Structure formats: structure tokens, C-alpha cells
Structure 1
Amino acid sequence: MAKSLEAGYFDKLYAGDPDPWKFTTSAYEDAKYSATLAALLRKRYASAVEIGCSIGVLTERLAARCDHLLGLDVAQAALDAAAKRCAALPHVEFALSTLPATPPPGTFDLIMLSEIIYYFDRDGVAAMARAVAGMARAGADVMLVHWLGPTPDYPLDGETAVTAFLDAATAGARGATMVAQDRTPEYRLDVLRFPAG
């Protein structure tokens, strides 16, 4: 079975193309970002984290709904581009990610995982679900948005990866509850909420 992708994989991608997934020009990405923001359960979040923020295109749009937003990524080149894009947003900050091994300090009431779960193998997905649970404030929302098409370079496809994450995140005494789901032919959108107390 393929192993979780290492940071070097993404460093190589950004070295070859500063926008390897065409986030700034893709009609698919633009429509998906609009749907993602429309699916948020609250008008505003006090503290949010976007895991796998890449070059900050979604980050910039999500920032309007957050008092504080932390963008995380494994690739420094992506973080540099994201910081430049969001330079006029003082409530947005960025940090190099070592998730799931080392979560960032603090807890959050929104945790965004957009197009990243399939970069992990099954053990990595389970570890990410545990890390997310540790980062979640009481009553926190977790949003997952993932491509359903072929992922030949990744350890898992979108369906398998998200299903594994949901199974892990909803298990146990502090397990999250599924509160919203949507599906298009191209992607699925899943929203979980952790218990309030």
C-alpha cells in the first residue's frame, strides 16, 4: 500500500509550478470554494485553522468569516505565497505544518480540511482524525471537501480517505457527529461537529 506523501513531494510540485492545482484560475476551484463557504454552519468563527492551505486562495475568502485564521501547509513556498496573498489581513497567520505528528498550539472552533485527506495512508488518516479531535474546541465544526475523481499519485482516493476519516472522527466518547453532507459529480463536502461539552 502507498505511504503518506512526504513534504518533499509538495516542495517539488511548487518548485515546478507556483500554482500546481490552478487554484487562482480554475472554475472548478472557484465554484467549490463558494459552495464550501456557503456550507459553513456559522456566520462567523472566533478561531479557525485551515490544514493544507496551499497558496492561500481559499484562506483569503475564508478570512472574512473568522476573527482569527491560521493556515498550515507542509511546503514553505506555498506558505510564502499565501502570506503574500493575505498580507492585508492582519488576523490571518501561517505556519509550517507537521500534522498529524505535531498539532499547532491552541484549539479552534472551525477546522478546515480541503483536498488533503487522500495524501495520507490509512494510518495517517486515523492519526489526522485524532489530531483534529485534539485541536477542536467544544462544539467545533470540522469541514472536509474532497475531489472524487482519480488520484493515481496519492495513497487513497477521495471516497476511501474521507470515509476512513469520518469513521475515526465519529468514534469514541468525544466523537464528532455528522451534521451536513453534499455531493457533486466532482467532489464531496462533509461537515462534522464535536460535542458542546
Structure 2
Amino acid sequence: MNLDQPSRQRHFEALYAADDDPWHVRDKWYERRKRAILLASLGKSRYRNAFEPGCGNGEMSAALAQRCDQLLACDGSASAVAAARRRVAQAGAERGRVRVERRSLPADWPRAAAFDLVVVSELAYYFEPAALVSLLSLAGASVEAGGELVLCHYLHDFDDRAASTELVHAAAGRLPGFVRTLRHADEDFLLEVFRKQGGNT
């Protein structure tokens, strides 16, 4: 399925409007296992200010909220944002400490913010080459020295993929100023953690 970004955004809105868990991320073992491995792969026990673009229905957001003083999560789908807000509230995250916003990426990336954790999970492969370069550049620029950029993506092919997982992660690996601290590859997904050089680790 070759969709431009506005069409892709409408596609995701339709999916989340029909079902607030279209990929069964709450209960599917693949999703629960992947989430646990990602959380266990983070280099620090706690983060000051984190960003999760493409948060979907907020399952990962609810888990990240337990490790972050401040968390900004966003999605382009209004229905996904509503579901994510419900999920983080259910998880007991205090209002104001976790914010879930509707943002269209890469245009609405929070450029003025500096994060010590950015988690890009099951997102970057939906972007065409120019938008992907912009997304990753913005992600790299927004991570502060000593902070971490995490990428986690499904390896198998599917209809609305715009880029391969291997291409996405290779591009992230070329971001200046980062060193890879972890790489996990199994038959289903690729997870990598990159730390921005400088700062106290």
C-alpha cells in the first residue's frame, strides 16, 4: 500500500476509530514480549524527560511513564490519542507529568525540547525516504548529550510499510554523535539503543 502522509494518517485514524487496539498490543505475546525486552534494554533506571512519537493506544507510554519524570507521547490519530490518554490515566500517571498530544510527524516534532530518552517503536518504517531522513534527524537533534535514542521495528513485510526495518536502522546508525550500546535481533523484530556522546552516563 503506497500512501502519502495525509492518506496514511486517515488510514490510521480509521483503524483506531474502529478498534482502539487494532494490532492487539495489549494481549498478543509478541507485543508483550517486545515491550518487556525494550524496557529491559534501557540503559538507565529512570529518565528525566522522554518522548515517544507514534504512541498508538498508549501501552508503551503507560510502561515508560513508570520510568520517567516527564513523558511526552504523541500520535497523528485523534482516536489513538484518546485511547492513549485513557491508558496512561488507568496506569496511574499523574496529569501533567505525562502528556499525550496529537502531532503530525515529522512536521510537528517538538523541536524546542531536549530529551534524555526518545523511543521510536514500530513507527519509522511508515515514512517515505525524505520524511524518514527528517524524522531521524529531528530525533537525533532532540536527544541531549548522554541521552538515548531507541529504535524497535518489526522485521517481516506488511502492506503499508514504506521502508524496510534494515534501512531505517542503518540510517539511524549513521546519525552523527551517537554510539550503539545495544542491538537485539530475533526472528521478528530489531531493537537498537544509541547513546548520544558527551554528558554523564
**Same structural fold, with TM-score higher than 0.5 when normalized by the shorter chain:** yes
Query: Quick check: 1:112–1:144 contact (8 Å CA) kept in 2?
Result: yes
Determine the structure 2 residue equivalent to 1:89.
93
Q: Percent identity at matched positions?
A: 32
Structure 2 residues not aligned, in runs of 5+:
none
Deviation at 1:3, TM superposition (A): 5.6
The AA in structure 1 aligned to 2:142 is M
Query: Quick check: 2:140–2:149 contact (8 Å CA) kept in 1?
Result: no
Over 6 Å off, 4+ runs? none
Q: Distance in 2 between matches of 1:188 and 1:154?
A: 15
Deviation at 1:192, TM superposition (A): 0.6
Determine the structure 1 residue equivalent to 2:44.
42
The AA in structure 1 aligned to 2:75 is D
1:101 counterpart (76, 91, 107): 107
Query: Quick check: 1:51–1:73 contact (8 Å CA) kept in 2?
Result: yes
Query: Quick check: 2:2–2:160 contact (8 Å CA) kept in 1?
Result: no
1:182 counterpart (181, 184, 187): 184
Determine the structure 2 residue equivalent to 1:159.
166
Alignment of 1:123-138 (within 5 A): 123-138=130-145
Q: Distance in 2 between matches of 1:3 and 1:23?
A: 24
Alignment TM-score, normalising by the size of structure 1: 0.91
1:122 counterpart (118, 122, 129): 129
Determine the structure 1 residue equivalent to 2:66.
64
The AA in structure 2 aligned to 1:136 is V
Alignment TM-score, normalising by the size of structure 2: 0.89
2:150 aligned with 1:143: yes
